[in-house]
Structure 1
């Protein structure tokens, strides 16, 4: 739940290209739901684009222009994903952002990294 004194970074920019923010007491407002839905669409499109990129990159006959287009699309999708992650990260409760005393977080075996 976003406290009313916190601004939510929205998943779109204003007409001048600057970030848009929402201040609301209700996470279930129309604009909050629209932002949630837009974030889900952006992340879904990014996942689809990654799958498409794998196909393109596996094809030895892919034209340079197609690779440039793919690169531009992946850049836009990454920009959107970073905005979603930033927005969601800002809305986490402060206790989730700090580690507990003596707890360094999850530990993975070296084999997990290849």
Structure 2
């Protein structure tokens, strides 16, 4: 995530939720400790999603995969897709608006 250090930004959707499951936001200049932790968590989530996709391709190519294995795979993929969508929403909020849309 690249915010301009030292400049306040719109609230950032963080890659985790509160204990009650509510979204967490950060207001800051994008250069603090929490921003760096959020960046690291997002990077780890995206890396895990890529690894999960590779695993899914292998498992789906194997005709010996069982229904419980495929169910577990689908559950993990659902979690990963949820995390990836959250990252896209968070990062998309900081994309510049093209001049033609202003």
Aligned to 2:80: 77
Partner secondary structure for residue 10 of structure 2? coil
Aligned to 1:105: none
Alignment size in residue pairs: 97
Partners of 1:71 and 1:99 lie apart in 2 by 40
Q: Which runs of 5+ in 1 are unaligned?
A: 101-114
Rg comparison, structure with higher value: 1
TM-score w.r.t. the length of structure 1 is 0.79
Aligned to 1:8: 12
Measure how far apart 1:27 and its partner are.
1.3
- Give yes or no for the alignment of 1:19 onto 2:23: yes
* RMSD, aligned CA: 1.6
Aligned to 2:64: 61
* Per-residue CA distance 1:10-69 (angstroms, 9 max, x = gap): 001110001100001x21100000000100000000000000000000000101000000
Partners of 2:19 and 2:90 lie apart in 1 by 19
- Give yes or no for the alignment of 1:43 onto 2:76: no
Q: Which runs of 5+ in 2 are unaligned?
A: none
Partners of 1:32 and 1:92 lie apart in 2 by 17
TM-score w.r.t. the length of structure 2 is 0.88
